Amino acid sequence: MSGSNRYARRLKLGRGSTLIALSAVAVLVLAACGGSSKNTNADAGSTGGGGSSTSSTPLTGAPIKTMTLAAVNYNGPNYANILTTAKLYEKWINAHGGIKGHPLEVTVCDEQGDPNKTAKCGRDAVANKAVAVIGSYTLNGDSILPELAAAKTSWFGICCAATGGELQNPIVQQLGSGGSYAGLTVKAVADGCKNIDLVLADTGASADLLTTIVKNALKSANGPELHARVLIPLTAQDYSAQVAQATDGTDCILGVIAESAWAPFLTAYASSGGTQRLYGPQGNLDQKIISKFPKDVTEGAVVVGSYSDLTLPVWADYNAAIKQYDAPKDQDYNSLGGLGTWAAYVAFNNIASTLTDPTDPAAFLAAAQVAKVDLKGMVAPVDFAAKFTGLGSTFLNDVNRTGTFDIVKDGKLVPFKDGAFYDFTNAMVGKPLAPENLPPAGQ
């Protein structure tokens, strides 16, 4: 087979939870919004970005306390890699001079998917005088925000808002991109896809909003109209019917699919003999899923992400920490959870290092709210003060709307164009894309 049709199998859907920028899940929830007049520029330097020399300088400052939380021990997706990465960064940075001479003291909290425990994590962070809660992910963000807001403590560097409050509350600094779905669509058009199906979880209004974004992106990239939308019931166990629908008359499939749903879906897809090229989001279509299937099942699949691939040089310190500190080998570090948490701590370090007192939560929050962060290719540069109003007032914290791509080759994720980032702001709202933001075709 040739063209798009030779890219064997891949589809996407989602059960309820998904570790991508699922902004659409909760855009109808509103929260207060504000800011600060102070301006901070935070660039990735030797403080956890690319430097690797060990420091012999004793860490004599007061500890800089932080917390990172995620759900691990519960009946749902396991984000142990988030907590592991936070502790890896603590060990790494303390072995390399700390933060402005202060040791970093990271507490991790398993909120177990329980909003009450999420709120307790927040209370514990405040009681422990945490400067910020960093690089976390939860479906219960609205449970922790009041605890942190009352103490003027930042919910910092999250990869992806999963609640409406996270998209609007001024204590939130989202580092990950809200442009993933638009990015998938634009790349599919660039690759020559003519008949595109969108497969996603049946989440009602949020699924409708996501569909609108995909249609906007098709218009923005001068692509075809959406061929069809395939909705997956949240309780589905067998995806054969949805696979049949999605492979009927299509050459490419876009999808919103939880990592936990990929295996059963790809099983049905492989059995169907589908040949569509598949497009999925970082953190869901990941190496763990890819490795479970024969190479031809996922060959040529395109993965769009907020963070560049772990194999690129900018992640040298993270790779070194994984190796040096014997990180568990059964966790995926080349994903939203791992990459996002490491990048969040590097960004935190760079902002905290500009402060007179990096142990003061209120001072850090004020600086973070207006910080410009450039992590030199881990993630696209962001300006936390530049709120996004292109889709109304419900996506204010989507300050990053870029994407970068991996292509599946011989069963492995491979960076596309050396991890180049493309701005999908216009694609989200249906306006024409500048040529530099239209990724080229190909692998």
The contacts of residue 364 (CB under 8 Å, 6+ apart) are 131, 132, 154, 156, 348, 351, 352, 355, 358
Q: Please give the Cα distance from 344 to 335 (Å, whole number).
A: 13
Q: What is the CA radius of gyration of the chain?
A: 21
Residue 118: its H or E element: helix 115-127
DSSP state, 345? H
Contact criterion met (CB below 8 Å) for 90 and 48? no
Q: Please give the Cα distance from 201 to 113 (Å, whole number).
A: 19
pTM above 0.85, yes or no: yes
Q: Please give the Cα distance from 11 to 265 (Å, whole number).
A: 7
Return the CATH number of 3-20+179-309+402-437, one of 3.40.50.2300, 3.40.50.720, 3.30.460.20, 3.40.50.2000.
3.40.50.2300
For residue 198, which amino acid is it?
A: L
Same fold, 3-20+179-309+402-437 and 23-177+314-383: yes
Contact criterion met (CB below 8 Å) for 370 and 385? yes
CA 304 from centre of chain: 10
Domain ranges for the chain: 3-20+179-309+402-437, 23-177+314-383
For residue 214, which amino acid is it?
A: V
For residue 272, give the nearest of 244, 304, 302, 308 by alpha carbon. 244
- Percent of the chain scoring above 90 in pLDDT: 74
Of 23-32, 56-65, 206-215, least confident by mean pLDDT is: 23-32
* Most confident listed range (18-22, 32-36, 47-51, 62-66): 62-66
Residue with the bigger pLDDT between 289 and 47: it is: 289
Adjacent-strand bridge partners of 383: 372
Helix (H, G, I), strand (E, B) or coil at 262: helix
Q: Token pair for residue 218?
A: 């098709």
* Most confident listed range (42-46, 211-215, 280-284, 290-294): 211-215
Q: Please give the Cα distance from 223 to 370 (Å, whole number).
A: 36
- In the structure, what pLDDT confidence band is assigned to residue 143 with cuts at 50, 70 and 90? very high
Task: Name the burial class of residue 309, with classes exposed (0-12), middle (13-18) and buried (19+) by CB atoms within 10 angstroms of its CB.
Answer: buried
Q: Please give the Cα distance from 158 to 161 (Å, whole number).
A: 7
Side-chain-facing half-sphere of 281: CA atoms under 13 Å: 31
Q: For residue range 334-355, what is the model confidence (pLDDT) as tens digits?
A: 999 999 999 999 999 999 999 9
Segment 290-308 shows an average pLDDT of 93
For residue 437, give the nearest of 159, 196, 254, 217 by alpha carbon. 217
Mean pLDDT of the chain: 87
- In the structure, what pLDDT confidence band is assigned to residue 50 with cuts at 50, 70 and 90? very low
Q: What is the pLDDT of residue 55?
A: 54
Q: Please give the Cα distance from 43 to 326 (Å, whole number).
A: 28
Q: Please give the Cα distance from 130 to 127 (Å, whole number).
A: 8
Segment 235-247 shows an average pLDDT of 92
CATH of domain 23-177+314-383: 3.40.50.2300
Residue 338: its H or E element: helix 336-352
Q: Please give the Cα distance from 8 to 410 (Å, whole number).
A: 12
Q: For residue range 168-206, what is the model confidence (pLDDT) as tens digits?
A: 999 999 999 999 889 999 999 999 999 999 999 888 888
